[in-house]
Structure 1
Amino acid sequence: MALAAGAFSLGGCVSNTPAPENMARNTQQTAPADLQVACANAATQKFGADHASVLPVSSSALDGGKYQIILEAKGQRSTCLIDQTGQVLSLEKM
């Protein structure tokens, strides 16, 4: 009986209020993993870093099937612009 009363009292704490319509949600599309790896490989070649030290830290889809990928290697960041076919369009240190 006490257990049922406890469950009943906890049930009253649940909010039935709908979430606000303007609630922010992350709908940003990230780059596919193979494109992130392609950018990391290009950075190792261009900047002379070893493969283990170059890591993608963020990515986002751009217009026209392109992606921007931010890479980091030993505290130095670079930005990679790549298309959906895997062709690196630009790679620059930030």
Structure 2
Amino acid sequence: MSTNVLFPSLTLTVLNPETLLHGSEPQHRIDKAGGTLGTQATWRLHDREDRILPLHCEIRWHEGHFCIIDQAAVPRAIFRHRNKPTLQPQSIL
């Protein structure tokens, strides 16, 4: 019996990395422990237009799925995947 266990993870990629400031990584992997995205978060992103908030969103593992919780101050959806309510493996945000 194999002892290798696959752990769920989510890899997020910025599709327009030219908008990021130097030092921001355009890709980040999140596992079941979750994480945050923002200028002062687990995945630190800084954009040229200063539109990313210190805590822009939080990603949690909940009941077998990754959930994105919008922490932005404006009442709008920050992330969308073709208007699908859940993320699928290899989803592009």
| Common fold by TM > 0.5 | no
- Structure with greater helix percent: 1
- State which structure, 1 or 2, has the greater radius of gyration over its C-alpha atoms: 1
TM-score of the aligned structures, taking structure 1 as reference length: 0.27
User: What's the TM-score once normalised by structure 2's chain length?
Assistant: 0.27
